[in-house]
């Protein structure tokens, strides 16, 4: 069933916008996060490195130092950091970073039990509780992230220490759950997609069989997690195991219809389902993935590509429940949505998947990290009101400024590994075709022999040039947001018609293919079924969603409304170098001295300045709004 696959780890060396971000990750984020893992950065304690040291001591029968510290899934922070380091080393050799990674890997390998079990929480303490709380213990989740890190590090460096540890751990899991038939499925899906990767890297079919087992067993006993909870006298967070919809365990996965439950766990599961469907030609599983994709993107996704609208369980809510000020929209959830989109693209190269993957990356994923790479959002609200955001009981999760770290630090290293590996999502390949899913400058060399240079100022500029080194067939995406496009080959206009959002064109060595996309800003309107967005609009230019900050608008955005009949213009100045800001026709209502009043307010015309959403909250505490009310009776022609 698989038509194309992700580009290999060495296939892409970035420059331009993506290259600048990857340089920031390599030069600042990865070193900073390593200091955090070693408890040398100040702020929130991590203790990740020390946990592995203490686990090795416990295995040797020694005193386990100061024991285990952190979340039950603390090991996964190390794994995601190592995966980011692997992608960085693949395109930016760094002897210091490699030495740090090798040293951490040696500590991880020393913390592995002789039977292959690898988890510091249940090695340092509560050894007798291993595998008894799959709902909350996250042993399989941590194993999955370590497997992903091992595969990436091996592909990048050729070193096998972590890969061998991951194989031993995966075989321990295979023996227990497949060969011995012990009951259980992961409370937090992740192991499934990781085992698929390990199967491809090692060629060992047992790992795919284990992934298939975990996918197929899920939901066949809807009461499994409740029975597991009843059989033990301990808990991590007090979960009862009774909410099958939240746990994605109410029914077998092939019967799922609506995206539900914890948003990150949900899209990690769907990613594995799509990956397995592509490898096994499972049409029933694929049909479920297609239904779930539609559920997310047509009824339960924010305009920024954020998913998971409620703080209660970090979860999907119900159709069209998409409030801006209390949005959860976890960074990791949008990363997982990118994973899901990428796997669906492997089965069916359809621009609808790449459009969402692009929207999630350029808006929510990038918004999860500050411009300097040292502060991070876990939650990504679409509206910030100082004094309410992060303060009111209903809004405490929606912080108005990025913290430097979290006790639950899943998002920062997840963002780092995703940005460093963007080439795997931007480009794909089949036997005879190079797929250009996203527009990212850099040098691309694919396993099928096709090679080219991509030059573009995207996402701020909308001309994309491909200089062909080794020819073949290119499949270039035409974004759904671009109302017009122009394609030229060696300066001759091409009349190619998009097929499912892609134009297919034969190119030869030395050719120059140029794509020109629509660069005009546009208004976006929400379905009237979304109650939070009734009578509102927001602004888009290219893949970027724009927002309004008080810093640029007299300290206040709540009194602004859009005059959608006017023309949006590129501003002559911008608060961020090289980043176009937009001047948007608006009206400002006057401030009021009383809570309620009867005199009709008289708004004044003004120009509101909008910046890309991913750059908000970089200039101190200030209000922010993405959606603004429309002037009554005014609608822009054709949404412009």
pLDDT tens digit string along 429-484? 999 999 999 999 999 999 999 999 999 999 999 999 999 999 999 999 999 999 99
Q: Which residues contact 122 (CB under 8 A, 6 or more apart)?
A: 129, 130, 137, 139
DSSP designation for 388: T
Cα(595)–Cα(352) distance, integer angstroms? 46
pLDDT at position 227: 96
Using DSSP, state whether 486 is helix, strand or coil: strand
Between 596 and 2, the more confident residue is 596
* pLDDT tens digits, 330-361: 999 999 999 999 999 999 999 999 999 999 99
pLDDT value for 45: 84
* pLDDT range class, residue 42, cuts 50, 70, 90: confident
Cα–Cα dist 54/76, whole Å: 16
Provide the percentage of residues in the chain whose pLDDT is more than 90. Answer: 89
Q: Is the pLDDT of residue 635 over 60?
A: no
Mean pLDDT over 114-134 rounds to 97
Model confidence at 531: pLDDT above 60: yes
Is-contact 205 169, C-beta < 8 A? Answer: no
**Beta strands 472-477 and 433-436: pairing type?**
parallel
Q: Is the pLDDT of residue 634 over 70?
A: no
Annotated catalytic residue: which of 50, 314, 383, 445?
314
How far apart are alpha carbons 319 and 536 in whole angstroms?
18
Dump the DSSP string for 183-239.
----SS--HHHHHHHHHHHH--HHHHHHHHHHHHHTTTSTTHHHHHHHT-S--SS--
β-strands 536-541, 522-525 pairing:
antiparallel
- 404 vs 95: which has the higher pLDDT: 95
Beta strand 628-629 with 569-570: parallel, antiparallel or unpaired? Answer: unpaired
Helix (H) or strand (E) holding 14: strand 12-14
Q: How confident is the model at residue 148 (pLDDT cuts 50, 70, 90)?
A: very high
- Cβ-based neighbour number of residue 490 at 10 Å: 13
**Where residue 633 falls among pLDDT bands split at 50, 70, 90?**
low
Q: What is the pLDDT of residue 3?
A: 85
The alpha carbon dihedral of 608, 613, 616, 622 has a sign of positive
**Exposure string over 540-574, b if 16+ CB within 10 A, otherwise e:** bbbbbbbbbbbbbbeeebebbbbbbebebeebeeb
Query: On the CB side of 40, how many CA atoms lie within 13 Å of its CA?
Result: 8
Query: d(Cα 377, Cα 400) in Å, to the nearest integer?
Result: 9
Contact by Cβ (8 Å): 285, 228: no
Q: Residue 578 to residues 384, 550, 611: CA-CA distances in angstroms?
A: 25, 21, 12
User: Residue 278 is inside which H or E element, if any?
Assistant: helix 263-280
Predicted confidence band of residue 8 (pLDDT cuts 50, 70, 90):
confident
- What rounded mean pLDDT belongs to the chain? 94
Closest to 443 measured CA to CA, from 416, 461, 470:
470
Q: Please, what is the Cα angle at 594 between 589 and 599, to 5 degrees?
A: 60
Instruction: Pick the closest to residue 383 from 557, 194, 506 (CA basis).
Output: 557
Q: Is 437 exposed, middle or buried (0-12, 13-18, 19+ CB in 10 A)?
A: buried
Element (H, E) at 101: helix 95-110
DSSP assignment string, 34-67: HHHHTT-S-SS---HHHHHHHHHHHHTTS--TT-
Interval 295-312 mean pLDDT = 98
Residue carrying the six token digits 């963002």: 415
Segment 580-625, tens digit of pLDDT: 999 999 999 998 889 998 888 899 999 999 999 999 999 999 999 9
Q: What pLDDT is stored for residue 14 in this prediction?
A: 87
Q: What would the mean pLDDT of 159-177 be, rounded to a whole number?
A: 98
Give per-residue pLDDT as tens, 555-586. 999 999 999 778 999 998 999 999 999 999 99
- Nearest residue to 111 (alpha-carbon basis) of 142, 84, 70, 87: 142
- Report d(CA 170, CA 417) in Å as an integer: 22
Position with higher pLDDT, 8 vs 161: 161
Whether 169 and 116 have beta carbons less than 8 Å apart is answered as yes
Average pLDDT of the segment spanning 394-399:
96
Over 70: is that where the pLDDT of 632 sits?
no
Q: Position of tokens 């040292």?
A: 374
User: For the chain, which domains are there?
Assistant: 14-170+185-196 (no CATH), 430-517 (2.60.40.1180), 523-639 (no CATH)
Phi, psi at residue 396, to the nearest 5°?
A: -65, -25
pLDDT in tens, 221-279: 999 999 999 999 999 999 999 999 999 999 999 999 999 999 999 999 999 999 999 99
Nearest to 360 by CA among 286, 428, 419, 304: 304
The three-state secondary structure class of 443 is: strand
Element housing 384 (H / E): strand 383-384
pLDDT band at 639 (very low <50, low <70, confident <90, very high): very low
**Residue 192: other Cβ atoms inside 10 A:** 25
SS (H, E, C) 512-574: EEEEEECCCCEEEECCCCCHHHCCEEEEEECCEEEEEEHHHCCCCCCCEEECCCCCCEECCCC
Res 9: pLDDT = 56
Q: β-strand 433-436 against 427-429: which pairing, if any?
A: antiparallel
* Residue 164 known to be catalytic: no
Mean pLDDT value across residues 370-399: 95
Q: State the pLDDT confidence band at 43, using cuts at 50, 70 and 90.
A: confident
* Active-site residue, selected from the candidate residues 91, 142, 185, 410: 410
407 vs 248, higher pLDDT: 248
The pLDDT of 132-149, averaged and rounded, is: 97
Q: What is the mean pLDDT of residues 276-284?
A: 96
Query: Has 410 been annotated as catalytic?
Result: yes
Q: 10: pLDDT confidence band, cut at 50, 70 and 90?
A: low
Confidence at 640, pLDDT banded by 50, 70, 90: very low
Cβ-based neighbours of 221, under 8 Å, separated by 6 or more: 183, 227
């Amino acid at each position: 069933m698989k038509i194309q696959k992700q580009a290999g780890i060495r296939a892409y060396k970035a420059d331009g916008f993506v290259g600048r971000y990857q340089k920031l990750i390599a030069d600042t984020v990865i070193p900073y996060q390593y200091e955090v893992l070693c408890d040398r950065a100040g702020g929130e304690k991590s203790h990740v490195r020390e946990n592995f040291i203490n686990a090795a001591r416990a295995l040797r029968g020694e005193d386990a130092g100061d024991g285990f510290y952190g979340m039950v899934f603390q090991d996964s922070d190390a794994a995601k950091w190592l995966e980011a380091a692997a992608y960085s080393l693949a395109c930016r050799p760094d002897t210091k970073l490699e030495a740090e990674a090798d040293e951490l890997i040696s500590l991880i390998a020393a913390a592995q039990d002789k039977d292959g079990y690898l988890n510091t929480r249940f090695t340092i303490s509560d050894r007798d509780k291993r595998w008894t709380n799959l709902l909350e213990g996250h042993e399989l989740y941590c194993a999955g992230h370590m497997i992903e890190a091992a595969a990436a590090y091996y592909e990048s460096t050729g070193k096998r220490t972590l890969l061998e540890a991951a194989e031993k751990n995966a075989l321990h899991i295979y023996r227990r759950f497949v060969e011995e038939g012990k009951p259980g499925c992961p409370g937090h899906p992740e192991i499934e997609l990781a085992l698929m990767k390990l199967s491809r890297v090692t060629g060992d079919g047992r790992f795919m069989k284990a992934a298939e087992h975990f996918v197929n067993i899920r939901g066949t006993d809807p009461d499994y997690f409740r029975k597991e909870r009843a059989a033990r006298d301990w808990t991590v967070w007090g979960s009862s195991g009774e909410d099958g919809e939240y746990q994605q365990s109410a029914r077998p996965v092939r019967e799922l219809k609506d995206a539900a439950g914890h948003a990150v766990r949900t899209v990690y599961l769907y990613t594995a389902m799509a990956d397995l469907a592509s490898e096994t030609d499972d049409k029933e599983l694929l049909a479920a993935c297609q239904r779930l994709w539609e559920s997310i993107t047509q009824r339960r996704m924010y305009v920024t590509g954020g998913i998971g609208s409620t703080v209660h369980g970090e979860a999907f809510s119900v159709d069209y429940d998409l409030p801006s000020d209390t949005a959860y929209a976890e960074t990791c959830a949008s990363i997982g949505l990118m994973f899901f989109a990428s796997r669906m693209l492997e089965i069916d190269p359809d621009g609808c998947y790449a459009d969402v993957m692009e929207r999630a990356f350029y808006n929510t994923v990038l918004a999860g990290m500050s411009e300097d790479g040292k502060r991070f959002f876990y939650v990504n609200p679409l509206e910030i009101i100082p004094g309410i955001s992060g303060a009111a009981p209903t809004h405490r999760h929606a912080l108005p400024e990025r913290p430097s770290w979290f006790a639950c630090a899943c998002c920062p290293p997840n963002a780092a590994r995703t940005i460093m590996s963007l080439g795997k999502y931007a480009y794909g390949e089949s036997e005879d075709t190079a797929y250009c899913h996203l527009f990212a400058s850099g040098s691309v060399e694919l396993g099928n022999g096709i090679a080219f240079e991509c030059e573009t100022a995207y996402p701020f500029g909308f001309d994309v040039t491909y200089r062909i080194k080794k020819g073949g067939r290119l499949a270039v995406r035409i974004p759904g947001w671009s109302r017009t496009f122009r394609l030229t080959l060696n300066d001759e206009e091409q009349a190619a018609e998009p097929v499912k959002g892609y134009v297919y064109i034969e190119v030869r060595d030395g050719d120059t293919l140029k794509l020109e996309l629509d660069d005009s800003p546009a208004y976006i309107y929400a379905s009237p079924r979304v109650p939070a967005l009734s009578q509102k609009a927001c602004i888009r230019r290219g893949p970027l969603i724009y927002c309004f900050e008080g810093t640029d608008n007299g300290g206040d955005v709540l009194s602004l409304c859009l005059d959608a009949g006017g023309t949006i213009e590129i501003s002559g100045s911008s608060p961020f170098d090289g980043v176009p800001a937009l001047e948007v026709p608006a009206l400002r209502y006057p401030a009021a001295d009383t809570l309620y009043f009867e005199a009709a307010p008289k708004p004044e015309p003004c120009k509101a300045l909008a910046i890309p959403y991913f750059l908000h909250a970089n200039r101190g505490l200030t209000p922010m709004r993405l959606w603004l009310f429309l002037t009554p009776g005014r609608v822009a022609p054709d949404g412009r």
